[in-house]
């Protein structure tokens, strides 16, 4: 019974993560694999049954939370997750290890808002040095929103504009 409650909680967490933001999908992959392995180990007929049962419970919890949203998106855009226009607008046009590193560095820096200009300048210079070594522009149009220039945002107390601590 305790195991079923954990699986229901896993389903709630998964469903709410998906409902909150579509970027939850890549973050959910390792957790899904880890939980699947947990239910399959040690290998036996019972572990296979408990794994199938856990997947069914998670789906029964996730489906009602996200079903309406998926159905609406599919009926409007023929895609349950996002519009093609939105996806193409935000999707990188290049995929490579250096682009991956560039994106990780740039996105991490967006969450380091500081009220100290010297720290912000130092961080900006570190990011520039990393991008020079990568032979990658910080504002490469293939990996940056159209017409935008990469910059570390200024300090704000606004919940809508601040990064995650």
Using one digit for the tens of pLDDT, what is the confidence trace for 18-38? 998 878 888 898 988 887 787
Percentage of residues in the chain having pLDDT higher than 90: 33
Residues in the chain: 165
Are residue 12 and residue 83 in the same domain, yes or no?
Answer: yes
What is the enclosing helix (H) or strand (E) of 52?
A: helix 45-77
Tokens of 159: 């919940």
Are residue 78 and residue 125 in the same domain, yes or no?
Answer: no
Are residue 30 and residue 6 in the same domain, yes or no?
Answer: yes
Q: What is the pLDDT of residue 1?
A: 56
CA angle in degrees (0–180, nearest 5) for 87-59-7: 120
Q: What is the pLDDT of residue 37?
A: 80
Q: What is the pLDDT of residue 129?
A: 96
Are residue 66 and residue 78 in the same domain, yes or no?
Answer: yes
Top-ranked range on mean pLDDT: pick from 49-53, 70-74, 134-138: 134-138
Task: Work out the average pLDDT over 57-66.
Answer: 94
Are residue 19 and residue 76 in the same domain, yes or no?
Answer: yes
pLDDT bucket at 165, cuts 50 / 70 / 90: low
- Among residues 33, 67, 89, the one where a domain terminates is 89
Rounded CA-CA distance 12/35 in Å is 14
- Among residues 46, 63, 89, the one where a domain terminates is 89
* Selected residue with higher pLDDT from 36 and 72: 72
**Residue 100 reports pLDDT greater than 70:** yes
pLDDT bucket at 154, cuts 50 / 70 / 90: confident
**Residue 3 reports pLDDT greater than 70:** yes
Neighbours of 59 (CB within 10 A): 12
- Residue of 150, 122, 164 lying closest to 23 (CA atoms): 164
What is the C-alpha R_g of the chain? 21
Q: What's the total number of domains in the chain?
A: 2
**Residue 54 reports pLDDT greater than 60:** yes
* Selected residue with higher pLDDT from 118 and 111: 118
Asked if residues 29 and 36 have their Cβ atoms less than 8 Å apart, the reply is no
Range of the domain at 32: 2-89
Are residue 121 and residue 84 in the same domain, yes or no?
Answer: no
């Amino acid at each position: 019974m305790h195991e079923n409650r954990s699986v229901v909680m896993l389903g709630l967490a998964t469903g709410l993560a998906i409902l909150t933001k579509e970027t939850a999908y890549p973050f959910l992959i390792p957790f899904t694999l880890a939980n699947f392995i947990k239910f399959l180990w040690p290998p036996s007929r019972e572990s296979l049954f408990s794994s199938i049962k856990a997947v069914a419970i998670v789906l029964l919890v996730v489906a009602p939370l996200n079903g309406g949203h998926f159905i609406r998106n599919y009926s409007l855009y023929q895609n349950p997750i996002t519009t093609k226009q939105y996806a193409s607008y935000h999707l990188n046009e290049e995929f490579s290890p250096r682009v991956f590193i560039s994106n990780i560095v740039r996105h991490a820096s967006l969450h380091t808002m500081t009220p100290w200009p010297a720290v912000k300048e130092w961080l900006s210079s570190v990011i520039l040095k990393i991008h020079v070594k990568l032979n990658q522009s910080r504002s490469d149009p293939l990996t940056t929103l159209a017409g935008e220039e990469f910059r570390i945002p200024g300090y704000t107390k606004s919940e809508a504009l601040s990064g995650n601590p």
